[in-house]
Amino acid sequence: MIGGIHLIWYVLIMFFTGFLLGRFIKSEWIKKYKIIMILTMLLLFSLGLEIGANDELFEQIDTIFLYGSLIALFGSFGSFFVGYILEKAGKAGTKK
């Protein structure tokens, strides 16, 4: 395991530093050179390496996929359900 709990704080600092700094600097180069895409690909590649190289993790790929699928289905359904209710409630409120 690398990083530790402090990693998230560095992530938050980097995110908000970029967000504040971005107001004062040019940012066309990010889209032009597809920086976000390249960095995401590198991150995902390293994530794949981590799972592939880790025998213990690779043996659990079936439960990883099963629980991942269930969380995706429940999370997506829940989001749609609450969104649907709020939208209908909002429309009903407007009609009154």
Q: Is 96 in the site for another protein (CB under 8 A)?
A: no
Report the nearest approach of another protein to the CB of residue 63 (Å).
Answer: 8
Q: Is 93 in the site for another protein (CB under 8 A)?
A: no
Q: Is 75 in the site for another protein (CB under 8 A)?
A: yes
Q: Is 92 in the site for another protein (CB under 8 A)?
A: no
- Judged by CB, which is closer to another protein: 1, or 95? 1
Q: How far apart are CA 81 and CA 7, in angstroms?
A: 34
Q: Which residue's structure tokens are 């709990």?
A: 5
Q: Is 62 in the site for another protein (CB under 8 A)?
A: no
The DSSP secondary-structure symbol of 34 reads: T
Q: Is 59 in the site for another protein (CB under 8 A)?
A: no
Q: How far apart are CA 28 and CA 67, in angstroms?
A: 39
